[in-house]
Amino acid sequence: MPAGGGCFEVAVNGEVVYSKLKTGAFPDEQAVLETVRARLKK
């Protein structure tokens, strides 16, 4: 039985770049990696 609810968020330097709470779904791994890499280059 799948789990329900919960939160999954990814933050870079205190800035949330992905929130399952807002979207209702887990992110595409590649998209999150690209976002994190781009934020770390700033």
Domain residue extents for the chain: 9-41
| Mean pLDDT (the chain, rounded) | 88
Report whether pLDDT(6) > 90. Answer: no
- The pLDDT assigned to 2 comes to 64
- The pLDDT assigned to 3 comes to 63
- The pLDDT assigned to 11 comes to 95
Q: Count CA within 13 A, CB hemisphere, residue 14.
A: 0
Q: What is the pLDDT of residues 24-42, one digit of tens each?
A: 898 899 999 999 999 999 7
Residue 17: name the closest of 2, 27, 7, 5 by CA.
27
Q: Which residue has the higher pLDDT, 38 or 5?
A: 38
Q: How many residues are there in the chain?
A: 42
This prediction has a pTM of: 0.70
**Residue with tokens 């609810």, as numbered in its chain:** 5
